[in-house]
């Protein structure tokens, strides 16, 4: 299989429990490079947990998760999975950008300092190069004039765009978004979605947990509806949203569309 035919994300029967609560029940799905997958479903359906398993912020109990052909968080020994040393897992995580619901910016650092921190500390990028790249990325997310602003002086939408620039500064091959607009005032949602739309146009592989059905319809290559830890329905976003096959999907969409 040539390198470009390897899926960017391949989940094979992934399961995860917290105590007696099984949050993911044998999740299998594939995201090819350059594709955008939107995960939708009610709260507690396992969407965010699945996202966190992809970059090994959560361990899996069963199944296999691969990013760009490489097993995430584990190595195989026969038919057993052995968890990687945290340093090895952190190396894998460098290549996966993640944007959270809460922006998680360092409050004592300016926007520019937030963006250059990881490239300098983790990737040992020279400071001048990191600053040049950070300024490019802040311009890319529409914040060219906000490099010296502290998070407290930025709107929620601006903070989230800084968070996206920060994730992009590590040159990830995959971007994960965990409800990136749900903490924002409604009038600020569009500015974040516009940046994400441009990323998709630029060919970034993205998995997006979202309640923004318009974004899913317009941008996603595939849409997965999860409920109770399982994939209930998956397919072309326009088809799933306008003509859902499963009663559970219909009931959910009737409340959000």
Q: Give CA–CA dist 221/206, Å, rounded.
A: 10
**Res 102: pLDDT:** 87
What is the signed CA dihedral for 158, 159, 164, 169, rounded to 10 degrees?
Answer: 110
Are the C-beta atoms of residues 54 and 205 closer than 8 Å to each other? no
Please give the distance of CA 14 from its chain centroid, rounded to a whole number. 17
| HEC readout, 23-90 | EEEEEEEEECCCCEEEEECCCCCCHHHHHHHHCCCCCCCEEEEEECCEECCEEEECCEEEECCHHHHH
State how far the alpha carbon of 227 is from the alpha carbons of 25, 92, 192, 196, 204, in Å.
10, 29, 26, 25, 27
Q: CA 1, 37, 101, 161 torsion: positive or negative? A: positive
> Distance from first CA to last CA of the chain, Å, rounded?
40
pTM score, whole prediction? 0.94
What is the signed CA dihedral for 6, 8, 9, 10, rounded to 10 degrees?
Answer: 0
**Res 204: pLDDT:** 97
Partners of 176 in the beta sheet? 98, 207
The H helix count followed by the E strand count for the chain is: 9, 12
How are beta strands 174-178 and 205-209 bridged, if at all? parallel
**Res 3: pLDDT:** 54
Side-chain-side CA neighbours of 53 within 13 Å: the count stands at 29
Can you list the residues of the chain whose pLDDT is less than 50? 1-2
Q: List pLDDT tens digits, range 169-195.
A: 999 999 999 999 998 998 899 999 999
Is residue 99 classed as helix, strand or coil in its secondary structure? Answer: strand
> What does the block give as tokens for 55?
């970059």
Are the C-beta atoms of residues 59 and 15 closer than 8 Å to each other? no
**Res 1: pLDDT:** 44
**Res 79: pLDDT:** 81
């Amino acid at each position: 299989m040539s390198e470009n035919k390897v899926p960017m994300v391949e989940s094979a029967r992934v399961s995860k429990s917290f105590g007696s609560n099984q949050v993911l029940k044998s999740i299998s799905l594939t995201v090819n490079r350059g594709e955008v997958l939107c995960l939708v479903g009610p709260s507690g359906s396992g969407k965010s947990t699945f996202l966190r398993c992809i970059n090994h912020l959560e361990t899996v109990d069963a199944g296999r998760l691969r990013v760009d052909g490489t097993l995430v968080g584990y190595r195989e020994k026969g038919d057993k999975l052995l968890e990687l040393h945290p340093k090895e897992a952190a190396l894998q995580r460098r290549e996966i950008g993640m944007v959270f619901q809460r922006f998680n910016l360092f409050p004592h650092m300016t926007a520019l300092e937030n963006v250059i921190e990881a490239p300098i500390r983790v990737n040992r990028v020279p400071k001048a190069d990191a600053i040049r790249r950070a300024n490019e990325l802040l311009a890319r997310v529409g914040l060219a004039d906000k490099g010296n602003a502290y998070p407290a002086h930025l709107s929620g939408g601006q903070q989230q765009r800084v968070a996206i620039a920060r994730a992009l500064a590590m040159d990830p091959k995959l971007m994960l978004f965990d409800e990136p607009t749900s903490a924002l005032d409604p009038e600020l949602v569009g500015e974040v979605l516009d940046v994400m739309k441009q990323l998709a146009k630029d060919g970034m592989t993205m998995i997006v947990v979202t309640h923004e059905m318009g974004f899913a319809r317009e941008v996603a290559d595939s849409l997965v509806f999860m409920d109770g830890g399982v994939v209930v329905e998956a397919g072309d976003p326009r088809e799933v949203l306008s003509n859902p096959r499963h009663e559970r999907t219909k009931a959910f969409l009737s409340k959000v569309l």
